[in-house]
A = this chain, B = another copy of it.
Amino acid sequence: MLVDVKEILRCGAERTDRALDRLLPSETRVPTAIHQAMRHSVFAGGKRLRPVLCIEAARMVAGTLEPPEGAENLAAAIEMLHTYSLIHDDLPALDNDELRRGKPTCHVVFGEAIAILAGDALQTQAYETLATLPRSAAAVVEIIRLVAQATGTIEGMIGGQVLDLEAEHHQPTAAMVDAIHRAKTGALIRVSLAAGAVYGSNAGNSGGTPDGGADVDRLTEFGRKAGLAFQIVDDILDMTEDSEHLGKTAGKDLASDKATWPAVFGIERSREDANRLITEAFTYLEPYGERADALKAVARYLVERKN
């Protein structure tokens, strides 16, 4: 199968953006300030990598040419969770970032109070979206359970943020960086793929694989490797690219003594690790044959990107 990764990314991002626009209250809806703040951060130009991974996982497992109907709503819910974590992470009490995706961060534009509530509201809106997915109630409950675990405190996204805070101004160790990356960014990437697999295997009348549990396990392991590779590349880019190119404040990790992969292993070894992890990740996709080509292309893009 010939795969155009740019087209996959563009298509997935467009699908996700349309879903987000449909699902989020309009800017004129009362109370307007919070809806403006939510949309400001959601539509600040993210690459929608997690949604694309989610949609492509659902499509691969469903075995269909088009993604299963409504998968873009699941993808949108995951992007809402990602954006909520960015808004709170950027707050003065946390990373104190004023620039994100090339635009002023939520609290800079709307004030801290509204930014805190906008993050809260995006988490809430994500669960409302998940609870109305057009899938069997059993599949929906399973997806919600997976998503809540992946964004929680035990090896999930919030837990990773706490570890990250605690690691600042300490000499980073390999174990520390590994634990932070697996939880802070890794868990949401893993669940984007795992939830996509549940969604795809529950695709009903299409050619979904019969062993939904095995799909979820394989996509979770794929996500574990690919997610770490993605974060290692993020760390490298923070050290080597300028702010304009990145759309966020570059060199910030170093300045704030963040625990990063290159800080522990150096840039060369980090590049090697990212490439090795992607190769290892691909082994979990072997059962899917050519159907995995799109997902592989996206994963390859994750480690070759320049911003």
Q: Which residues of A contact B (CB under 8 A)?
A: 25, 29-31, 33-35, 38, 84, 88, 91, 93-94, 111-114, 116-117, 119-121, 123-125, 127-128, 130-132, 136-138, 140-141, 144-145, 147-149, 151-154, 156, 158-159, 161-163, 165-166
A46 to B307, CA, bound (A): 48
* A154: nearest chain-B partner, CB-CB: B25
Q: B141, A31: Cβ atoms under 8 Å?
A: no
Closest Cβ–Cβ distance, residue A196 to chain B (whole Å): 18
Closest Cβ–Cβ distance, residue A99 to chain B (whole Å): 20
Pick the contact of A119: B120, B130, B163 (CB < 8 A).
Answer: B120
Determine how many copies of this chain the complex contains.
Answer: 2
- Residue of A35, A114, A116, A137 contacting most chain B CB atoms (<10 Å): A116
Q: A93, B120: Cβ atoms under 8 Å?
A: no
Apart from A31-B163, A93-B116, what are 9 other A-B pairs with CB-CB below 8 Å? A31-B162, A31-B166, A88-B117, A91-B113, A116-B116, A121-B153, A124-B153, A127-B147, A128-B149
A163 to B34, CA, bound (A): 10
A151 to B131, CA, bound (A): 14
Pick the contact of A93: B29, B34, B112, B166 (CB < 8 A).
Answer: B112
Residues of B within 8 A of A35 (CB): 153
A128 to B123, CA, bound (A): 13
